Amino acid sequence: MFNITTLSRGLLLEYNFLSGTIPKEVGSLINLGMLTLSRNNLSGEIPEELGSCQLLTILELDGNSFQGTIPSFLSKLKGIQLLSLSSNNFSGVIPQEIGLLNELQELYLAKNNLSGHIPLVIENLSHLYKLDISYNNIEGFVPEKGVFNNASALILVGNNKLCGGIPELHLPKCFIQHDKKHVTMLLKLIIAIVSTIFLFAALLLALLIAKWKIRRTTKSRTNSLLTQKLPKVSYGQLAEATGTFSVSNLIGAGKYSRVYKGILQFKEGSNQEAYTVAIKVFDLQQLGSTKSFMAECEALRLIRHRNLIRNITCCSTIDYNGKDFKALVFDYIPNGNLHKWLHLEKDDHEPLSPLSLTQRLNIAIDIADALDYLHHNCQPSVIHCDLKPSNILLREDLSACVGDFGLAKLLPDPITRSLVESESSIGIRGSIGYVPPEYGEGGPVSTTGDVYSFGVLLLEMFTGRNPTEYMFKDGLTLHNFVQMAYPERVMDIVDPNLFTVNVMESNAFNKMCECLVSVINVGLTCSKQSLLERMSMEHVAIQLHKIRDVYLR
């Protein structure tokens, strides 16, 4: 029967007494549109040759005794609209490859022995309007997008460890598992640190006083040198460059400022050269904006790194109405910020393509290198205090540079650090979702706070989940969400946009999985609740470079 290669309409053999396995010859039915073998006594595994029937729109194998895992080669059935595998003996997890069936409308996987989490890729199946995964052993968080946003489209009963989801599902909240070793480790670390402080206090104090004296003598000379290098611009030049700060040239806005695209004329020898620039104009009516301007000027005066935004000049004057005016002028970065690339926001010109694994890892390394420089190679150290995707800009080659130092804090040395930290604890620095927990409790700003923000950013880059999404409530955070899946089910929660057809079908898929597990581990370590358990940015940068060298080169 399965040698009838011209059969094209459908093969309907449901409710018979067929037994045995599906013969491999089924792969010769390349024109078959419908295959229904429901309610028979068939067993064994689904033959890989079935993946050759790429014109199938309906595949019904429910009510048999098939076993093994749900095969990944079903992703080759690009036109499949109905897939029914219910009432069999399938085990293992629901494969990520299901997310490649873009035409799928109905998916029935009930009454098997499936386990693991619900793959997030399913919520991207825009045509899917019916999903039945009842009576399995599936556990964990239920997504809230796509088909999961319609309670009447879902049948989830019989999976007692599911949680979350939309309120209409009446599922319990996702509980967070706390690390039992946390308190013990914390106490040990505190004791070790206190002992070390007493042991080396005298030697450290002597060294720091010597460094402070050297830095004090060179500081004024450095200040004047940097000031001389900045070209002078007037309010009139900035107004002309932006069309009198026209809305059509507005490219960004924050709490304290607006950013405009403009074209400025600078003298290069005897010639006038035009440069496209980004002009950050501070709203001085906003309380705290002047302090933000001064903080950014102070930070930008000190830093020079390929992955930090370059400040061209600044302007502090009065406008045509006699009011105070303050602005900073930067290189114009054409590709915008990382946030719109991660969440594929619509661009004014062309739709954005999802970032690949390699591109994301390269961007993460650029950011880590920049923070390593700020924390460990700047004198004094600079704490960014507001690390998030919208403050990461991407150049034309998608290399990253860290911007917006409006909340930055300098950490001169431990001698004056106590004064800096007590001042910094007045008000929480940073953005919701990225602020380390110790800041919310009134703790001082520190380099470990930046590490926490970087960890959250790293998890967001590779899961595609914004830490302020509605799903993160009642104690569930992006860190906890990822931790519950790590390491066995990491592939269930990573950004589905990483799984292209070429990647899923290549031999590099396992290597990609190992790479993602390693990167996620760095993100989880950086975003730990306890600041004592986080890495330094120097260590983070080293780890990410190693991961890239091992898996992507």
Q: Is the peptide bond before 167 cis (omega within 30 degrees of 0)?
A: no
Residue 438 sits in which domain range? 336-553
What is the distance between the alpha carbons of residues 365 and 363, in angstroms, rounded to a whole number? 5
How many Cβ atoms sit within 10 Å of the Cβ of residue 30?
Answer: 14
Do residues 307 and 361 share a domain?
no
Instruction: With respect to residue 173, please indicate whether it lies within any of the assigned structural domains.
Output: no
Element (H, E) at 515: helix 509-526
- Nearest 5 degrees, angle CA 276-CA 281-CA 282? 160
Do residues 415 and 502 share a domain?
yes
What is the distance between the alpha carbons of residues 481 and 95, in angstroms, rounded to a whole number? 20
Residue type, 192: A
Do residues 369 and 481 share a domain?
yes
CA distances from 138 to 115, 170, 186, 219 (A): 4, 17, 35, 62
What is the distance between the alpha carbons of residues 469 and 115, in angstroms, rounded to a whole number? 26
Looking only at the bridges linking them, the beta strands covering 400-402 and 34-36 are unpaired
User: So what's the pLDDT on residue 428?
Assistant: 59
Count of structural domains within the chain: 4
CATH number of the CATH domain containing 68? 3.80.10.10
- Nearest 5 degrees, angle CA 293-CA 273-CA 327? 10
Burial level of 279, CB count in 10 A (0-12/13-18/19+)? buried
What is the distance between the alpha carbons of residues 59 and 326, in angstroms, rounded to a whole number? 66
Do residues 208 and 266 share a domain?
no
**Residue 131 — φ and ψ, nearest 5°?**
-140, 120
Q: Is the CB of residue 400 less than 8 Å from the CB of residue 338?
A: yes
Last-in-domain residue among 229, 252, 269: 229
Instruction: With respect to residue 176, please indicate whether it lies within any of the assigned structural domains.
Output: no
Question: What is this structure's pTM?
Answer: 0.72
Supply the DSSP symbol for 114. Answer: E
Length of the chain: 553
User: So what's the pLDDT on residue 367?
Assistant: 97
Instruction: With respect to residue 242, please indicate whether it lies within any of the assigned structural domains.
Output: yes
- Nearest 5 degrees, angle CA 130-CA 134-CA 140? 100
CA distances from 305 to 209, 337, 373 (A): 27, 18, 8
Reported in sequence order, the residue ranges of 351-509 that DSSP labels E, i.e. its strands, are 381-383, 392-394, 400-402, 409-411
CATH number of the CATH domain containing 483? 1.10.510.10
Contact residues for 360 (Cβ-Cβ < 8 A; gap 6+) = 461, 462, 498
- Can 549 be counted among the known catalytic residues? no
Residue type, 238: L
- Nearest 5 degrees, angle CA 225-CA 229-CA 230? 125
Distance, CA of 432 to chain centre: 15
Residue type, 484: M
User: So what's the pLDDT on residue 507?
Assistant: 65
Instruction: With respect to residue 61, please indicate whether it lies within any of the assigned structural domains.
Output: yes
Supply the DSSP symbol for 169. Answer: G
What is the distance between the alpha carbons of residues 308 and 383, in angstroms, rounded to a whole number? 13
Q: Give the pLDDT of the chain (553 residues) as one tens digit per residue.
A: 555 555 657 888 888 889 999 999 888 888 888 999 999 999 999 999 999 998 999 999 999 999 999 998 898 999 999 999 999 999 999 998 898 899 999 999 999 999 999 998 999 999 999 999 999 999 999 999 999 999 999 999 999 999 999 999 999 988 755 444 454 566 666 776 766 666 667 667 767 666 555 444 433 333 333 344 567 889 999 999 999 999 999 988 888 899 999 998 876 666 777 889 999 999 998 888 888 888 888 888 778 899 999 888 899 999 998 899 999 999 899 898 999 999 886 555 566 789 999 999 999 999 999 999 999 988 888 999 999 999 999 999 999 999 988 888 887 654 344 434 444 334 556 788 999 999 888 888 999 999 999 999 999 999 999 999 988 888 899 999 999 999 989 999 999 888 765 666 556 788 888 999 999 999 999 999 999 999 999 999 999 999 999 887 7
Look at residue 168 and give its three-state secondary structure. helix
Tracing tokens 């260590």 back to the chain, one arrives at 539
Do residues 387 and 530 share a domain?
yes
Contact residues for 508 (Cβ-Cβ < 8 A; gap 6+) = none
Do residues 510 and 393 share a domain?
yes
User: So what's the pLDDT on residue 414?
Assistant: 47
Instruction: With respect to residue 220, please indicate whether it lies within any of the assigned structural domains.
Output: yes
Q: Is 280 assigned a ligand-binding role in the annotation?
A: yes
Instruction: With respect to residue 401, please indicate whether it lies within any of the assigned structural domains.
Output: yes
Instruction: With respect to residue 4, please indicate whether it lies within any of the assigned structural domains.
Output: no
Q: Which of 386, 404, 450, 492 is catalytic?
A: 386
Do residues 386 and 371 share a domain?
yes
Strand partners, 132: 108, 155
Do residues 354 and 314 share a domain?
no
Do residues 262 and 387 share a domain?
no
Do residues 238 and 249 share a domain?
yes
Closest CA to 279 of 239, 248, 307, 247: 239
Supply the DSSP symbol for 72. Answer: G
Do residues 51 and 198 share a domain?
no
Do residues 348 and 314 share a domain?
no
User: So what's the pLDDT on residue 214?
Assistant: 46
CATH number of the CATH domain containing 308? 3.30.200.20
Last-in-domain residue among 332, 359, 392: 332
What is the distance between the alpha carbons of residues 415 and 193, in angstroms, rounded to a whole number? 18
Instruction: With respect to residue 324, please indicate whether it lies within any of the assigned structural domains.
Output: yes
Burial level of 210, CB count in 10 A (0-12/13-18/19+)? exposed
Last-in-domain residue among 311, 332, 353: 332
